[in-house]
Chain A
């Protein structure tokens, strides 16, 4: 009897262990739904990847993501941990709304908002120099194509406790060799500015911030009359945004998701070369028919290498080079242009299978205006390479 009990025990332990390996090898999952990102998968080893350790790191990451129940385990642990944290410290949070309360690596709570650390100019300067250099080089070699830059200030651009700003935008603007009228920013000069325009639990701007950004960008581009919202809706599902997930507080740290409703003109949408019904699912979320998890991306539209909007109006063609902040406004911008091309350099090559060359892209698509839009992460990104 004792032997049987032990045999069953050893069998179960072995199966628990082997199941993770089988899942990772035989039927790996595509997405880590709990963290709203692509799940790591096993890759083929090479001699160099084995010797530099990157293969081993990849295996560990893949097995952590692919092990059966790993997502649930991760969510459960984080939920308990952040639940205890919130329960024990709710008084502390309430009494110290005007101070940074650190809850994770680079992430704090301030005034009921999850905020990132303020970036230091000396650390960001090399990246900004490189980004500005790329933009300047393109502008210099294509004087016939107007180039615009819109910088989005956010929590990384100001210390809310002291009100001090590291001057990241000013530094970038000084280095951009573009006409001053072609450079502008979404300014955050106080916590009040920030709180009225960004999500509490997500790193993106909210409906008011993104709409303000849209209007400012349109003015920068001299793009005509902006669309006006026809209503304001608060969804019946709460949002646990990217920062909540990052802090391990998914489901614990939540907020209402409010959005403006717009009447968009008819337009076709192409994502990475394939026709798509729409970009994002704003109407579906508003009328309650959307499936899946509510997020900034699932509402406004996700990050894709290339999205093309065509209103068929025969107006100017706009190219938007940016990151996820522009997801909330590219459909709005598209209403004011003939064709609007949105390229996310982080994904373009991987998702379309094509190398990106801005000069060739502009020429091939008859681009009339090029807009760079993003926050500090975009302008300092290693992906901001415009020519091979």
Chain B
């Protein structure tokens, strides 16, 4: 056998990332967590366990095999909407909106007021339905299945509203550069939305009783996976996870887009930085989002067109924006979601880069927080960080 020259560095690295399932000694062993586990959704973690304690965790993503950014370079501008929204499934409107905002900026379109109102409303609805989805996942992780069932039922109401507005339930390919694809289907839809917001608001008390006030929730999350402010900023954590450590950073306040500078809402901030703080932050934000939706409904949609008037839109497959580049970002339930689009003047984008929040808190932070945790705390830490696996694999 040939004696291959392998550098010592590589040897060490290979030893660290040794991925074979084998007992290292009597008490130390490797455990493959996911991708079948409900908490991990579509990615897995390789845990090196010492009894019940985790010595080391290696995140093992890549079960989705989607090269979104590269695929987007080979498709016309409008077509990319149907591709990029798959980056974040629970709130698919966020990737649609960041891409559309960036292309709007490149072309220099003034998006009509009505379209902006609809986009803001759709984003807030996406946030509320994503919180519902999160409550379902988190409830299941800690063994409280009942609130999860309720949340799924309430999310269904929002999906029905989406179905009437956009024609799709989960993947509403709705926001396009220049506006939105359809008008609001009448005042009946607005009344339904108000009813739904009122309904979910009335159910907040029940959620408090069964999930957020619950003794089990406190016991399982308090002091688990503590992340301090310095650590969070160093790892570029954004969104509710950052606000749970005491940094009041919200894109809707710090870099307002759409109608958010006219809306009145608060950014809740907690200081503890443990899993309980991350749970409670999400509960307060759900309250604020319902409040924002009410304000938007009080404001009412302005009249006018819902799509920009441009002769170039007559031939959509050959639509060519001018040369240029733009970055746009919004606040999603996962964190700061951004898209950078470069146009070279042809009918396909030269480069589409998506800045997803899950890369930071779903990979590096998760690996750090899992060190020294118990096996039973893995789903709690994972779900309170709330990552989006397609965003890691993009």
Chain A complexes with chain B: no
A-side residues, CB < 8 A to B, are none
B-side residues, CB < 8 A to A, are none
